[in-house]
Amino acid sequence: MTPPTPLEVNAEAEALIVLRHGEIFLKGDNRHHFEQLLVRNARRALTGIPGVTLERAQGRCFARVPQAQAARATSALQRVFGISSLSPAIPCPPALDALSAVAVHALRGLLRQRAIRSFKVATRRSDKRFPLPSTAVSSQIGAAIIDALGLPVDVHTPEVTVGVEIGREHCFVFVERLPGGGGLPVGSTGEVLLLLSGGIDSPVAGHLMQKRGCAVQAIYFHSPPHTGPRAEDKVQRLAARLALSQQQPVALHVVRFTAIQELIHAGAPAELLVVLYRRAMMRVASVVARSCGCTALVTGDNLGQVASQTLENLACVEDAAELPVLRPLLTYDKHETVALAERLGSFEISIEPHLDCCSLFVPRHPATRVSLKRAATAEAALALAPLLEQAAREAQIYRALPAGSSASARNIFRLSQSPLVAK
Ligand code: ATP
Ligand code: MG
């Protein structure tokens, strides 16, 4: 059999992107729901890319895109959680000659980018009307590749696997398997409220919760005039970044913390300040979370990174929360967090200088083991409750739309005041 020349391959018109979902298979009866969320999120990720269609077939999803948009669509889809891997593929008629020609064409394309030491062909034939069994298809296409390109076969540890799929609805060839976001589709496991500061850690913590299927809302505490508008602008851009990785806007609740902080500062022992600020944040965040349907709080805390993050102090802070406090970064080394921040695109924003309200008025050596009793005694001397209530009630809610790291805060819209105002 002589394979047609690449010129006969009409591979340029339309690209097919095969989306595979990993853990969704584990979800039994919920699988349909998970798949629907995955398709919804994939569709949202592709917003603004012209000529795209998405379909589900045989336990997978397929995106059809004009060839010119394939690279853009592929990188947008790589961000979608719940997709374990994806392959840009070339659609093809179900005929051995055509499949061989397309496989040669695709490998030649890859060869233009890099050397290939070895390959194998793996065929999946779900359309049993096709006359040859899959092993025969693989060996015949393999022979055509050897003829045309002279590449060596390695069936055990090939550098490149040429995938061939012959199905009733789709027939295609692919040579790449790119990583997807992994995890579970955003929205499949609930909604959480992330305590988002301008630092490196909290955006990454939010990102990891998104990976486990949570939609994220964010809450930011600031103390104007001690903290400036630039810090708030930074947090807004971080929220927009998180919106990009969950394919939907992030509600950002901005809480004015000044009066609370000043009261604590004036009336509590200096070495307790950080823990007491945090306890106050937990109380306000719990009220806001309840009012907006979030069932857990999330922080970027890490065990042992700073004085407020000892087991004793974390326990003391958590005691003030009315909802579970999740800390996905607890065990991470800083360089692991930084690597994730770079992938998320938040790192560049986080390293811009800013002053966080928790670093205001704090001593050089805060207490590392604050007992609940000490914290409660210090709080009892302060009339905090009305201020906490007021801060939650007066939180400003913004809607951060998906944006890349270079985007400005123009993508943020003030939505409304807290729903607590109406209560
Ligand atoms: P990050 O880099 O996220 O600021 P960090 O390692 O600097 O974290 P801390 O500053 O001690 O640690 O803060 C611990 C966590 O407390 C943060 O990850 C964040 O979840 C929360 N937090 C701190 N400051 C604020 C704030 N101003 N608004 C909202 N959350 C905050
Ligand atoms: Mg910080």
Q: Among 2-16, 216-230, 303-317, 391-405, which is the least confidently predicted range?
A: 2-16
pTM score above 0.85: yes
Tokens of 209: 């919760």
Rounded to an integer, the average pLDDT of 151-158 is: 96
Question: Binning pLDDT at 50, 70 and 90, where does residue 2 land?
Answer: very low
Residue 388 pLDDT: 97
Candidate from 192, 196, 201, 338 with most ligand 1 atoms within 8 A of CB, to mutate? 201
3 state DSSP class of 414: strand
Atom of ligand 1 nearest to the CA of 305: 6
Mean residue pLDDT across the chain: 90
Question: Domain locations in the chain?
Answer: 14-179, 190-415
Q: How far is CA 81 from CA 40, 122, 213, 271, 313, in A?
A: 11, 27, 7, 42, 33
Percent of the chain with pLDDT over 90: 78
Report CA-CA distances (Å) from 31 to 25, 26, 84, 188, 371: 7, 8, 15, 10, 45
- For ligand 1, what atom is nearest to the CA of residue 203? 3
CATH fold label, 14-179: VC0802-like (3.30.2130)
- Residue 408 pLDDT > 50, yes or no? no
User: What is residue 230's predicted lDDT score, i.e. its pLDDT?
Assistant: 87
- Distance from residue 349's CA to the centre of ligand 1 (Å): 15
Percent of the chain at pLDDT > 70 equals 91
Q: Each residue of 82-101: pLDDT tens digit?
A: 999 999 999 999 999 999 99
Query: Which has the higher per-residue pLDDT, 23 or 316?
Result: 316
C-alpha to C-alpha distance for 43 and 169, rounded to whole angstroms: 21
Tell me how far apart the alpha carbons of residues 29 and 375 are, in angstroms, rounded to a whole number.
47
165 ligand 1 Cβ < 6 A: no
Q: Mean pLDDT throughout 222-248?
A: 92
Question: What is the CATH number assigned to the segment(s) 190-415?
Answer: 3.40.50.620
- Tell me if 226 sits within 8 A of 258, measured CB to CB: yes
Do domains 14-179 and 190-415 share one topology? The answer is no
Assign 4 a pLDDT band (cuts: 50, 70, 90). very low
Determine the average pLDDT of the residues in 339-356. Answer: 91
**pLDDT in the model for residue 417:** 59
End-to-end CA distance of the chain: 77
Residue 195 CB less than 6 A away from ligand 1? yes
| pLDDT band per the 50, 70, 90 thresholds, residue 412 | low
